[in-house]
Structure 1
Amino acid sequence: MSDPVGAQLLSRIGTADEVVTLRSLRDRIHEHMEGLLSEQPVEQFYTNLNEAHDALIKRAIALAEANLARMGNSPPVPYAYLLFGSGGREEQTLSSDQDSGIVYADPDDESGREAAAQYFSHLAQAIVEMLQQLGYPPCDGNVISTNPEWCLSLTDWKNKLNEWFEEPDWERVRYLLIVADSRSIYGEGGLLQKLKDHFYSDMLDNPVIVRHMLNNTMRHKMLIGVFGQLLRERYGEDAGSLDVKYGAYIPMVNAIRMMSIQSGLRETSTLARIHSLQLKGKLSAEEASSYAKAFRLFMRLRLLATERNVDGMYTNNGKLSRRKLTKVLIEELKHGLRTGKKLQRRVFKQTKVRV
């Protein structure tokens, strides 16, 4: 972390040996980063913030593993703890839920497979519970390491991908896109590399997969109308607000990810993907600059969305209050949304050629 206070807090996270200490440090990091919102460039802010999230999650994993070791249970084979979603893309906001999984090396025999499955089930449970105590709620969609479907050996993971490839309905393709954003945060990162090698081997040879990927990519639209008006929330307590997460940020994440997958790129962060698409000649320098500028705006606005602390969990509804939508910001946002809409049209036309 670039500032002295943040660096000191990170150092303390790395040596914390109790959950209550980690929770106190999480709260202090949250408060500290909130104070830097208006001071740091958005990209630097996200870099520092996600470094802090990573440190907290890594320490929680290490403590959970150590607790099991004290009871005589150590990892029977190497493993990697994976982050998906915004964690995989290193785009977490001040509040973030748990999108996670585990991939572990193949045991030698059947008894080893049973022992490994049991150990990593216990480890996942310990990690998820500890992260909940730190204020990270579990994923609403059950994409989490405690779900046996997301805690598998390398071979079982490959078989799972094969199932999704062979019968690619909308939900299974959604899972494939989730895997595309995966990042190893702890353990043997080479296991994820092997999984990604399998992932990228023949995925786009199936036009059904491509069609479902396109449908998923285009599901969320930019919240700007045909006459250039913002499409705000119309009812309820959020009436007048703008759903920045699903009406700006997610549509752009999806579009850039689709372009990256089609180009065989393995970066997970959206800005890194835009840069690589430019280097590969898939985007001009002007296009890359325009898309990156719009995405940085959406990242900044996500940080201004309504934050809540519910039963000790940090949450964010992804919606920007009408009170924060100043005249200047509205004009900036409209320009960014038009840029995002242009990108969506481009991805749609390019991908339809493959289907």
Structure 2
Amino acid sequence: MRNLEWEERLLEIAGARTLEQLSSARETEQKCLQERLADSPADKVIVTLNELHDALIARALMLAENDMARSGFGAPPVPYAYMLYGSGGRFEQTMHSDQDSGLIYSDASDEADEVRNRDYFLKLAGKAVEFLVVIGYPPCEGNVIASNPQWCLSVKEWARRIDHWFAEPNWENVRYLLIAADGRPVWGDRTLAELLRDRYFNDLVRHPVIAHRMLENTLRHKVLVGVFGQLLKERYGEEAGSLDIKYGAYIPMVNAFRLMAMQAGIHETSTLDRIRALLRAGALEENEAKEAIEAFTLFLELRLYASVTEEGGRIVGSGKIPASRLTKEMIGPLKKALKTGSKMQRKVQRELQYRFGGR
């Protein structure tokens, strides 16, 4: 059912003329969503929150384009797409997610145009990143961001880079391949993003052994549940008693279902959409998919309750649930969800080790 009131608010964001208006809209809407968590299904709130992020980011890109034109650089010389990676690419951002982004633009007809395009889009990407910082999105600590020349490339440059990652699957390149698997366009020409995704999956088919390297990276983060079903909490320091919901629950399931989806040729980037697609493809049993959706939805909800800190005047999520928030009512469902996450990790490991002769 369409929510006309929400659609009107999204239209207001799309018409914002200043970064101050965007920042104010984000603060107001996120406060409303935080209040809704008390009496609304978490999955609905998360969908609305990510629609909000998309609208804010898209409008910031439009304002960046306008600023480039006013500064004498003109309009974009060729079509382009602004990409989101990480939780943004998976449509799983929290209230305080950072920027994981990239930019792809059409190929030039000659070398002079190629230089001109590269110069323009690096300037635009830098402006967009700057604007997004102003409205509350800190840059990615790992420098996976559109203002980084390595993540702002033409179609043919992106193709070469993806080919290189597949051809030389060292730890860093495999990490980039897993990041790229979550990429989706948030602004611009979506057909460019589709070209990139087609190239990616064609390379994946030609390099089947890379799945083994991806498995090693995927299993780096283990689900924080002990052999007797106990929660493995932080033991020392200021965060003793807290649970790392990001790296001990959420990320392990993201990694497991990403790899399963890639091996099944599924192009979805949302983890929940990947689970549903795996069920349709016969890669998951109905009970497995049901348990996985319940567990992952809980992890998404709990991420919204993670503690936050202030760094450089910006609010940054820690990804950890404080001990004070781990109520008795929460413990039972959480243990069940963690066991499901651990089971999914083992499933991926078994299937890929079988495929590669138990290596």
Matched with 2:55 is: 55
Corresponding residue number in structure 2 for 1:246: 247
Asked if the contact 1:210–1:354 (Cα under 8 Å) also holds between the matched residues in 2, the reply is no
Contact 1:136 1:314 in 2 (8 A): no
Q: Hey, what does 1:28 align to over in structure 2? A: 28
| Equivalent residue, structure 1, for 2:281 | 280
TM-score w.r.t. structure 1 length? 0.97
Q: Which whole-Å deviations, capped at 9, do the CAs of 1:215-238 have from their partners, x for residues lacking one? A: 111010000111221111112211
Is the 1:248–1:298 Cα contact (8 Å) retained in structure 2? yes
Instruction: Judge conservation of contact 1:6–1:29 (CA < 8 Å) in 2.
Output: no
CA-to-partner distance for each residue in 1:150-192, whole Å, 9 max, x for gaps?
0000000000011111110011011001111000011110011
Question: Is the CA contact 2:99–2:145 (under 8 Å) kept in the aligned structure 1?
Answer: yes
- What per-residue deviation string (whole Å, max 9, x for no partner) do you get for residues 41-65 of structure 1? 1211111000000000000000000
**Alignment check: 8 A CA contact 1:135 1:312 kept:** no
Counterpart in the other structure of 1:212: 213
Matched ranges for 1:169-248 at <5 A: 169-206=170-207, 208-248=209-249
Mapping for residues 118-157 of structure 1, pairs under 5 Å: 118-157=119-158
- Indicate if the aligned counterparts of 2:163 and 2:203 stay in contact, CA closer than 8 A: no
Instruction: State the 1:195 CA deviation.
Output: 0.8
> How far has the Cα of 1:202 moved from its partner?
3.1
Alignment deviations for residues 11-35 of structure 1 (CA, whole Å, 9 cap, x no partner):
3211111111111111112211111
Could you say which residue in structure 1 is the equivalent of 2:68?
68
**What value does the CA root-mean-square deviation take over the aligned residues?**
1.5
2:228 aligned counterpart, secondary structure: coil
Q: SS of the residue aligned with 1:304? A: coil
- AA aligned opposite 1:337: L
Cα separation, 2, equivalents of 1:225 and 1:192: 41
**What's the counterpart of residue 266 of structure 1?**
267
Percent of counterpart pairs with the same letter?
Answer: 49
SS state of the match for residue 202, structure 2?
Answer: coil
User: Is the contact between residue 9 and residue 29 of structure 1 (CA under 8 Å) also seen in structure 2?
Assistant: no
Question: Match for residue 161 of structure 1?
Answer: 162
Provide the rounded CA distance (Å) in 1 between the counterparts of 2:4 and 2:303: 25
> Is the Cα contact below 8 Å between 1:6 and 1:32 reproduced in 2?
no
For residues 223-281 of structure 1, what are the alpha-carbon distances to aligned partners after superposition, in whole Å with 9 as ceiling and x for unaligned?
01112211111122111100000000000000001100000000000110100101111
1:318 aligned onto 2:303: no
SS of 1:176 mapped into structure 2: helix
CA–CA separation in structure 2 for the residues paired with 1:83 and 1:184 = 6
- Poorly superposed stretches of 4+, deviation over 6 Å: none
Unpaired runs of at least 5, structure 1: none
- 1:347–1:206 Cα change, 3 Å: same
Q: CA deviation at 1:203?
A: 1.5
Aligned mates of 1:276, 1:137 — CA distance in 2? 32
Q: What per-residue deviation string (whole Å, max 9, x for no partner) do you get for residues 46-104 of structure 1? A: 11000000000000000000111123322111100000000000000111100000000
Output the amino acid matched with 2:10: L
Query: What is the SS of the residue equivalent to 2:82?
Result: strand
Structure 2: gaps spanning 5 or more residues: none
Letter in 1 for 2:189: E
1:128: Cα distance to partner?
0.3
Secondary structure, counterpart of 1:81 in structure 2: strand
Matched residue type, 1:156: E
Q: Which amino acid in 2 is paired with 1:146?
A: S
Equivalent residue letter for 1:79: Y
**In the aligned structure 2, how far is the partner of 1:135 from the partner of 1:202?**
36
How far apart, CA to CA, are the structure 1 residues paired with 2:283 and 2:208?
21
Letter in 2 for 1:26: R
Output the CA distance in 2 between the equivalents of 1:170 and 1:62. Answer: 36
Deviation at 1:106, TM superposition (A): 0.2
State the alpha-carbon separation in 1 of the partners of residues 335 and 190 from structure 2.
40
Please state how far the C-alpha of 1:309 moved relative to its aligned partner: 4.2
Q: Which moved more, 1:139-148 or 1:300-309?
A: 300-309
Letter matched to residue 301 of structure 1: L
| Cα distance in 1 between the residues matched to 2:294 and 2:29 | 27
2: CA distance, partners of 1:28 / 1:9: 11
SS in 2 for 1:108: coil
Question: Which residue matches 2:42?
Answer: 42
SS, match of residue 265 in structure 2: coil
Q: Would you say how many aligned residue pairs link Structure 1 and Structure 2?
A: 355
